[in-house]
Amino acid sequence: MAEAERREQITAGIIERTGITEDVIERLVHGFYAKVRSDPILAPVFEARISDWAPHLAQMCAFWSSVALMTGRYHGTPMVKHMKLPIDAAHFDRWLALFEATAQELCSPVAATHFVERARRIASSLEMGVATGQGVMLGVGERFRRNASGATG
């Protein structure tokens, strides 16, 4: 079977099992970033870097389509982008709390679980990458915290 056909079958299976479609992803992504943009911890990090939200939201829909539906629509390097950001465990906790709340509001329980499991795994690997970029090797289950001056500690 050709690679593209195999991928289509995998995607169809996920859609059947979870009810997640590109429409569901679009609603989730837009709902989530509306919350992010009014959040006191996260909004400043985004607003300092994103002036035009339309391309970012389109990119995030492609990302979640790749992650949740295995469509291969996203071709990017999230680790490189996040390693430069002034973020730590507090940002990741807040990000996940808002993401989970949005998924529960807008998706069926099985779809919400599908998204949230993946978000947690990716957040944890991004947090590890951010720490590594600051010269900190996190142990299993360890979190990355910067001190008040922005240095690690």
Q: Give rounded-to-5 percent helix, strand, coil for the chain.
A: 65, 0, 30
Q: Residue 105: what residue type?
A: E
User: Does 30 carry a binding-site annotation?
Assistant: no
Q: In angstroms, what is the minimal distance from the CB of 10 to ligand HEM?
A: 20
Among the listed residues 29, 65, 69, 95, the single contact to ligand HEM using CB under 6 A: 95
Site string for ligand HEM, 118-137 (x = CB under 6 A): -x--xx--x-----------
Q: Which stretch binds ligand HEM (CB under 6 A): 2-10, 22-30, 42-50, 140-148?
A: 42-50
Q: Judged by CB under 6 A, which stretch of 11-19, 25-33, 87-95, 135-143 contacts ligand HEM?
A: 87-95
Question: Which single residue is written with the structure tokens 């990119």?
Answer: 59
**C-beta separation of 28 from 106 below 8 A:** yes
Helices (H) and strands (E) in the chain, counts: 7, 0
Distances in Å between the Cα of 45 and the Cα atoms of 50, 114, 145, 149 are: 9, 27, 16, 16
Which residues bind to ligand HEM, rule: CB under 6 A? Answer: 42, 45-46, 49-50, 59, 63, 76, 78, 81-82, 85, 87, 91-92, 95, 119, 122-123, 126
